[in-house]
Structure 1
Amino acid sequence: MEFNKPRGTRDFLFEDMEERKYVENTIRSVVENYGFKEIKTPIFEDLELFTTKSGEGIKEEIYHFQDKGGRDLALRPELTASVSRLYNNNLQKAAKPLKMYYFGSCFRYERPQAGRFRQFWQFGIEVIGGTPVYNEAEIIAMANEALTKVGIKNYEVAIGHLGIIKGVLNHLNVNPEDTTRIIASIDKEDYELLEKILDECSISQEYKEIINKIISVNGTRSDLESLKDVVKDIEDSYEAVCQLSETLEVIEAFGFEDYNVKLSIARGLDYYTGIVFEIYVPDLGAEKQITGGGTYNLTALFDSEEVESTGFAFGFDRIMEAYHRQNIETPTSDSQKVLVVPVKKDFKIDAIKVAQTLRANNIITDIDLKGKKLKKNLSYANNNNINNVIMIGQSEVEENNVTLKDMDSGEQVTISLSEAIEKLSN
């Protein structure tokens, strides 16, 4: 019987994993350089964790099941809820801010298509507590630095603030259900639906124009400043404009200025309370968004104190798709790699001892124990980016030496193992 991988999943071969590890480690290096520490959460959680956050409708989109004890569980569809649960269980009394990151697979039961899989990976960042303005600026600047170091080109960083539009709706006493509908229509850029809902809510033409002016802002920091006159009589909205302006000033202090102020970003989720941002790679077409996030209050959903958090998650698979579409080359590792070759089967034990000594000195070492011809071993080394070959034969064993061949230069020398280790280590 032949088995195939489940629909919506993928196998990653050697070259795939080299690329994915390089991108993952590059992002890790950047976020750890900003003082973030890694956490891990279970791949499955109580189903109620996700229905509490996203509503009962989420069941149609996720893998959920009962275990042998009758407990309702689900494979995690994303990681934000799990991080909030981890905080509630373990870190409520920890000093703030808490700066953490995570990397792991998530699962959604949806129709597989280009850029969408049933198993996918997220690389996420969370800051719990602290000062939102500085948290927001830091993580946006950090996201930009991570993408730059990975080598992604021509991406766009769009920044908005949900408090501006919500301030208007609060000012007009729009009820929470209609506020959610309005925000969702803006998020989907369905402006016909938006007009219909505003009419249903009896929003006057004056305030319709204010709302349209807000969501039409799509430009620079000066475009944001010009909005102050529009919302000057709406206290919450005016305050949100000022907060966003302050955040942009701090972002620029981090050395990042190539952003776009886009106030139609709504993220479509009720728990966002302030800054929201998204990053797009137009080369990816319809699936161009590679990350989204902002400031929110999710911990309150789980019967704990209200603590504002700021975070985002990279769609790791979409970053990899951009990596391939933009033909980015993974840098060649400068680590020395060695293939140990016993020239006859009589010297396999000696070759094993040499290989183990090299490995004990943190030198990446492969060994031929099959007994291939020397020519085939040299070809194997070339094809697998192994830059050194050590040959063990009669004379090497008798004289306690090794013959070291540099595959790049072709230079070959017979020296002691300790000299070879020194040469390879340098």
Structure 2
Amino acid sequence: MNYANRKAQDLLHTPEGVRDTYGREYAAKQSTIEKIANRIHLYGYEDLQTPSFEYFDVFASEIGTTSSRELFKFFDKEGNTLVLRPDFTPSVARCAAKYYMDEKDPLRFCYQGSAFSNTSDLQGKLKETTQMGAELINDDSAQADGEMIAMLTECLLEAGLTEFQISVGNVEYFKGICEYLGMEPSVEMALRDEISGKNYFAAEDLLRSEGYSKADRDLFLRIRDFMETAEDLKAAADAAPSRRAAEAVERLIDVWNVVDAYGLSKYLSFDLSLLSKYHYYTGIIFKGYTYGTGEPIASGGRYDQLLSYFGKKAPAIGCMISIDPLMEAMRRQHITEVSEAQIQRIYYDKDNYEEALKTARMSRMAGFRTVLLPQKGLPDEERRSL
């Protein structure tokens, strides 16, 4: 193979972490996106589009978003540092603060598009993913929390999933225990990272190295137990070491009651150890899981302080569906089959082109996918039969 051919072959490959989607796979993906979007719209959410890249400060570390080392950064001609969005929520928060600064009524926005994460190639994860989501701003109620979780559940059902679980927690429970123990912020941050990664052995080692007693360590280690009913939550509230921690569990009970009113509580479980790498979450937090993929298919939570970073004091809650792992899970569960599109083929030659074109236009007006093809593309036996 000569140099030119080798160069052409090299150009066929995509960079690590991105991929092409085409044919029936793409059709299945688009069909799923449309189903989810339709369900979100039924809840009154309005479409919103933000830029694919923003100023670096929109995702600055002090607001608790993606780590700087995982951002795709570049510069414009004026020397400003720009980043490809790793997460839609800060962008939507910025947009809401800019255009709805004085709005006090609840705001409902939804979005879809690509998000980018500059992760290591060794992690084997996509660096460009398709995300869909919704944000509910100016409502701090348990009813808003429940609506977001119920809507997410209905979206997954609409996509075709039947076996999945939404795990719900409350960041305030973790913060309540840290406050109760008088924990230093730096230790709290390190402990949060270990617990969010479910690395409980490292969490216990950290607490032991900081001099916490076994009784204190057990306050954190007990939170890894899953709970499935309101009775489980009531027992956890009674055992909470502080009023702040107890109120966090009581909020979960309120949310369970709302989701139960939707008739969807069977899809819920509760995990008081549930935390996120996004530190802007302030209360209710949740993740969606199903079999056939090694990562969550959905996530979300309450972020009551994030908009204040952009000058608007407003509570908010949101959810995000990660379309790529969702599609992978659905493929492995054999629920993404899409029938091959039926396409009408109309053949023409130099003598009947106008007649064939008229027929094709009428077919398209009737809603049929139609292509015009030169008659020379027909197999010999079919051409002779015309």
Partner SS, residue 264 of structure 2: coil
The alpha carbon displacement at 1:208 in A equals 3.1
Q: 1:120 touches 1:317 (CA, 8 Å); kept in 2?
A: yes
Q: Which residue among 216, 219, 235 is the counterpart of 2:243? A: 235
Whether the 8 Å CA contact 2:174–2:273 is kept in 1: the answer is no
Matched position secondary structure for 2:178: helix
**Residue 115 of structure 1, CA deviation:** 6.3
Q: Any idea what the Cα deviations from partners look like across 1:345-369, whole Å, max 9, x if unmatched? A: 3111221123224434544322224
Moved more, 369-378 or 72-81: 369-378
Q: Is the 8 A contact 2:66 2:277 kept in 1?
A: no
Superposition map of 1:14-413 within 5 A: 14-52=23-61, 58-112=67-121, 116-231=125-240, 234-258=242-266, 259-284=268-293, 287-300=294-307, 302-332=309-339, 338-342=344-348, 344-369=349-374, 371-373=376-378
CA drift at 1:216: 2.7
Distance 1:67 1:123 in 2: 28
CA gap 1:28/1:55 in 2 versus in 1, 3 angstroms: closer
CA 1:234/1:54 → structure 2, altered by over 3 Å: closer, same or farther?
A: closer
**Cα pair distance change 1:217/1:57, threshold 3 Å:** closer
Evaluate the alpha carbon distance shift between residue 301 and residue 196 of structure 1 in structure 2; reply closer, same or farther with a 3 A threshold: farther
CA contact (8 A) 1:39 1:102 kept: yes
Does structure 1 conserve the Cα–Cα contact (< 8 Å) formed by 2:165 and 2:269? yes
How many pairs are equivalent?
Answer: 375
Gaps of 5+ in 2: 1-6
Instruction: Mark the CA change 1:310 to 1:175 in structure 2 (over 3 Å): closer, same or farther.
Output: same
| Aligned position for 1:406 | none
Give identity over the alignment, percent: 25
Distance 1:160 1:346 in 2: 71
Q: Alpha-carbon deviation of 1:91?
A: 1.8
Are the structure 2 counterparts of residues 209 and 108 from structure 1 closer, same or farther at C-alpha, using a change threshold of 3 Å?
A: closer
- Select between 255-264 and 174-183 the one with higher mean Cα deviation: 174-183
Q: Give 1:281's aligned amino acid.
A: T
In the alignment, structure 1 segments of 5+ residues that lack a partner are 379-390, 394-426
Shift of 1:98: 1.1
What one-letter code is carried by the residue in structure 2 that aligns with 1:311? G
Deviations 1:382-416 (A, max 9, x none): xxxxxxxxx9x8xxxxxxxxxxxxxxxxxxxxxxx
Q: Is the 8 A contact 2:160 2:335 kept in 1?
A: yes
Is the 8 Å Cα contact of residues 108 and 137 (structure 2) preserved in structure 1? yes
Cα distance in 2 for residues equivalent to 1:325 and 1:152: 11
Provide the aligned C-alpha RMSD in A. 2.7
- The 8 Å contact of residues 280 and 305 in structure 2, kept in 1 or not, is answered as yes
Q: Deviations over 1:63-102 (max 9, x none)?
A: 1111122221111112111111111211222353111111
Aligned-pair distance for 1:317? Answer: 0.6
CA distance 1:326–1:56, change in 2 (3 Å): closer
Amino acid at match of 2:76: D
Q: CA deviation at 1:195?
A: 2.1
Give the Cα separation in 2 of the matches to 1:228 and 1:20. 42
Structure with the larger RCO, 1 or 2 (CA within 8 Å, 6+ apart):
2
